[in-house]
A and B are shown apart, each in its own frame.
Chain A
């Protein structure tokens, strides 16, 4: 019996690089990250890529697979292969460092721009805040907190591609979880950061982020919430 082989095209070089094609043996249980690891270990030791946990927790292995951004460690070859071929490129909308590695600086800087860090209203000497898990605001926050920061939504978002200043789905989703955190005290400043031209108001609700998010989060809904809160703040003269 002949072994089934996969034709794997991998991006090599920086933004001006090109695809190099490798023949990799098809295995029954094989992820896209397995393919890249196999190529790096046995065929091309110079290949650069990023990964850590291999189990869908760390969010570091996202790449463009057959045209779509995916977390490669949890993407099975059987689900993404097309006619025995797989094309692996670095994520879109982020500068390529080398091969499959992109510079995530812009992506994470935008979390900071969107005031994505918790602003405490109590000190360690105060009573612990009692927040019911069934509270409406808590549920809204819970819906978005499982983001692993993989950048898949950012790479799939057309608005990010059109407007490089746009904060993007992940940073805005993060801001929305904090807007709904009753313990947080930074909302006025946060809404000023996420309203406006590069913020939530630029979202076209195309929902590419919802479609592609490996954690099945809904950044579009979070952004819609931010739009409502921004408008309320504007009407109250708080912006």
Chain B
């Protein structure tokens, strides 16, 4: 293994562990909020009222999304390496595309929710 590979593998490992720490906090906040919000059912108006135009939730879900986009592709890369005979290059490309796909979908969702006007 070249020095570059050793270095990049170690950085990827660190990125995955660090994003996991961020995810642990984000998931706890997200689930707690969901459970509280779900009391007595949930409606579009309620969601819009909570996250629509709210910069705090925008930043929170932005961080959440960034962590997911880093964490998931690295993990899936490992799974593919261990369970398929695909080349390292192909696995790298596939998982990078996956990360990008998740990120773009996430950005659209977060911005869509932020732009939802709270109905009075």
Contacts and interface: CB of A to CB of B under 8 A. Distances in A.
Interface residues of B, number: 14
A234 B7 contact: yes
B14 A231 contact: yes
Contacts of A231: 10, 13-14
Contacts of A227: 13
A163 interface: yes
Summarize B's interface: helix, strand, loop or mixed: helix
Given A197-B1, A239-B3, A162 B10 contact: no
A230 interface: yes
A197 B80 CA distance: 13
A234 B81 CA distance: 23
A239 B6 contact: yes
A201 interface: yes
Contacts of B78: 202
A195 B81 contact: no
Nearest to B12: A201
Summarize A's interface: helix, strand, loop or mixed: helix
B81 A201 contact: no
Interface string B1-18: 101011101110110000
A159 interface: yes
Contacts of B7: 234, 239
Interface string A177-206: 000000000000000100111110110000
Contact of B9 (A162, A163, A195, A233): A195
Interface of B: 1, 3, 5-7, 9-11, 13-14, 78, 81-83
8 contacts: A162-B82, A192-B3, A197-B5, A197-B9, A202-B78, A230-B13, A234-B14, A239-B3
Given A197-B81, A202-B78, A233-B10, 9 more contacts: A195-B9, A196-B5, A197-B9, A198-B1, A199-B6, A201-B13, A230-B13, A239-B3, A239-B10
Interface of A: 159, 162-163, 192, 195-199, 201-202, 227, 230-231, 233-234, 239
